[in-house]
Amino acid sequence: MRLLIDNARVWDGTGAAPFAAKVLIEDERIAALVPQAETLTAAEGAERIDASNKFLMPGMIEGHAHLSFVDVARGTQLGELPPEEHTLLTMDAARKLLGAGFTSACSAAAAKIRLDVAVRDAIESGLIDGPRLLAASPELTVTGGLGDGRRLHLHQESFGIAVDGADEMLRTVRLCLREGVDIVKLNISGDTGTESAPNEATVMTDGEIAVAVEAVHGIGRRVAAHARASESVKRSVRHGVDIIYHCDFADSEALDMLEGVKDRVFTGPAIGLVVNRMAQLRGDNTPQGRIFLERLKPLYEATCRTHAEMKKRGIRIVVGGDYGFAANPQGTNARDLEHFVTHFGFSASEALQAATRTGGEIMKRGHELGQIKPGYLADLLLVDGDPLSDVRVLQDKNRFAFIMKGGARYTPCNAAPHIRRVEATPPA
Ligand SMILES: [Zn+2]
């Protein structure tokens, strides 16, 4: 397959200004990128796409995906889905995410041990369409922690696995690793926004965290943490956790610690759920609704303050997170770029870099994902509009002339299966 994308306005993911250029794709990779005025003899005989007046950028990367969170109102509802139906719905979410312009996704937890693993492998083998996926374990939590929505005497499954003590942690981590996860997720703190653990207190012990990190790192995989409280951020850094999500209430000591490991660690706010829940609750005049809204306000204020500060300190922040709830459905992930601009003070270019170049790095594939460069994988979006003047154009699927993953072109559809593969037309 040889394809010339001619006369596009190319934004390469580095933060440099866009420039008129032609890009040659050969099979799954970018073979050449040259200024439009230059001749490109290597492109002779290739299929040509006229990209005049269009914006070409790297495919977006979701840094905190939950593909098996299938737009439920409450997390415990994920425990009511049998594995067969749950797998089909996860596969559907994968196609939705690709159709929304996200060509890669780093999972921040599955709702059952093998859901991400099976869907990752099915995408990788070409059986189903979806973004390149790093598979995560379910959220390993403590009894009564975030993700343990069980109730005594009631049969109630949940989306997290409750483990208590180092031995139980080690056994469960090894089970997840055996089943093929790339990332083990630990809920080190609770969460203000939930019913099961309705405050952000740090609940996972040093001993539990240490044994998990040792086992995961021992075979070269990574640990991600749900860490809202300052102490949970500090424990994550001290024990060598690789991806530390949320960090909302990080105090100056925690921020210093994060800054000290900024070349090793990634963070991601997952602000979409907080913003959307608050918008929903503003229209809810029940006493519970008003109480919940009051509880979320300090979380929102803390997350805005902390992420503006983290950006200043050069700590890597990824876009996305916690899409897969009724308030924050799968496929609307590009709204996160707008949130970064509105709530954290990112420029459009900085939000786009968080969604592309930094995303490539969290995938551990910064050498071939997240930028437009010769040799990189051809994961590209051709956009009718200018995301640098308004990042919201990326929320409109109809603006994608194509979504390309590994040289394969897709157009988004407005109904399931959410994307349609475009066959290459042979050159004239
Ligand atoms: Zn999450």
| 329, 181: one domain | yes
Instruction: Give the model confidence (pLDDT) of 70-79 as tens digits.
Output: 999 888 899 9
Q: Is the pLDDT of residue 428 over 60?
A: no
Instruction: With respect to residue 77, please indicate whether it lies within any of the assigned structural domains.
Output: yes
| 44, 187: one domain | no
Neighbours of 121 (CB within 10 A): 15
Q: What is the pLDDT of residue 261?
A: 98
**CA 29 to ligand 1 center in whole angstroms:** 31
Tell me which of 149 and 98 has the higher pLDDT.
Answer: 98
Instruction: With respect to residue 356, please indicate whether it lies within any of the assigned structural domains.
Output: no
Using the Cα atoms of residue 228, residue 230, residue 232 and residue 233 in order, give the sign of their dihedral: positive
| 12, 119: one domain | no
pLDDT more than 70, % of the chain: 98
Residue 222 — φ and ψ, nearest 5°?
Answer: -125, 155
**CA 62 to ligand 1 center in whole angstroms:** 12
Instruction: With respect to residue 134, please indicate whether it lies within any of the assigned structural domains.
Output: yes
Residue position matching structure tokens 């993953």: 405
**CA 246 to ligand 1 center in whole angstroms:** 9
**CA 182 to ligand 1 center in whole angstroms:** 16
The domain of 101 spans 60-333
407 in helix, strand or coil?
Answer: coil
**CA 24 to ligand 1 center in whole angstroms:** 37
CATH number at residue 43: 2.30.40.10
Q: What is the pLDDT of residue 426?
A: 66
CATH number at residue 83: 3.20.20.140
Give CA–CA dist 67/337, Å, rounded: 19
| 250, 390: one domain | no
Instruction: With respect to residue 340, please indicate whether it lies within any of the assigned structural domains.
Output: no
Instruction: With respect to residue 344, please indicate whether it lies within any of the assigned structural domains.
Output: no
| 143, 271: one domain | yes
* Nearby residues of 101 by Cβ (< 8 Å), 6 or more positions away: 59, 60, 334, 381, 394, 397, 400, 403, 412
Give CA–CA dist 321/351, Å, rounded: 14
Q: Is the pLDDT of residue 213 over 90?
A: yes
Neighbours of ion ligand 1 (CB under 5 A): 108, 322
Q: For 103, which DSSP code?
A: E
Q: For 182, which DSSP code?
A: S
**CA 67 to ligand 1 center in whole angstroms:** 10
Q: What is the pLDDT of residue 415?
A: 86
How many distinct structural domains can be found in the chain? Answer: 2
**CA 214 to ligand 1 center in whole angstroms:** 23
Instruction: With respect to residue 346, please indicate whether it lies within any of the assigned structural domains.
Output: no
Give CA–CA dist 303/269, Å, rounded: 7
Are 350 and 340 a contacting pair, CB within 8 Å? Answer: yes
Q: For 248, which DSSP code?
A: T
Q: What is the mean pLDDT of the chain?
A: 95
| 155, 261: one domain | yes
Are 126 and 426 a contacting pair, CB within 8 Å? Answer: no
pLDDT tier, 427 (very low <50, low <70, confident <90, very high otherwise): low
**CA 227 to ligand 1 center in whole angstroms:** 10
| 112, 30: one domain | no
**CA 190 to ligand 1 center in whole angstroms:** 12
Q: For 26, which DSSP code?
A: E
**CA 45 to ligand 1 center in whole angstroms:** 47
**CA 383 to ligand 1 center in whole angstroms:** 29
Instruction: With respect to residue 254, please indicate whether it lies within any of the assigned structural domains.
Output: yes
pLDDT tier, 51 (very low <50, low <70, confident <90, very high otherwise): very high
| 158, 190: one domain | yes
**CA 390 to ligand 1 center in whole angstroms:** 27
Mean pLDDT, rounded, for 91-98? 97
**CA 183 to ligand 1 center in whole angstroms:** 13
Q: What is the pLDDT of residue 196?
A: 63
Domain end (from 292, 309, 333): 333
| 299, 396: one domain | no
Instruction: With respect to residue 408, please indicate whether it lies within any of the assigned structural domains.
Output: yes
Cis bond before residue 412 (omega within 30° of 0): no
Instruction: Give the model confidence (pLDDT) of 215-224 as tens digits.
Output: 999 999 999 9
Give CA–CA dist 217/365, Å, rounded: 18
| 171, 301: one domain | yes
Q: What is the pLDDT of residue 195?
A: 66
Domain end (from 333, 352, 384): 333
| 190, 48: one domain | no
**CA 419 to ligand 1 center in whole angstroms:** 25
Give CA–CA dist 268/306, Å, rounded: 11
Q: Is the pLDDT of residue 377 over 70?
A: yes
| 375, 263: one domain | no
**CA 187 to ligand 1 center in whole angstroms:** 10
Instruction: Give the model confidence (pLDDT) of 168-212 as tens digits.
Output: 999 999 999 999 999 999 999 999 877 666 688 999 999 999 999
**CA 426 to ligand 1 center in whole angstroms:** 44
**CA 344 to ligand 1 center in whole angstroms:** 19
Domain end (from 289, 317, 333): 333
Give CA–CA dist 220/284, Å, rounded: 47
Does the pTM of the predicted model rise above 0.75?
A: yes
Give CA–CA dist 248/391, Å, rounded: 24
**CA 68 to ligand 1 center in whole angstroms:** 11
Give CA–CA dist 378/409, Å, rounded: 10
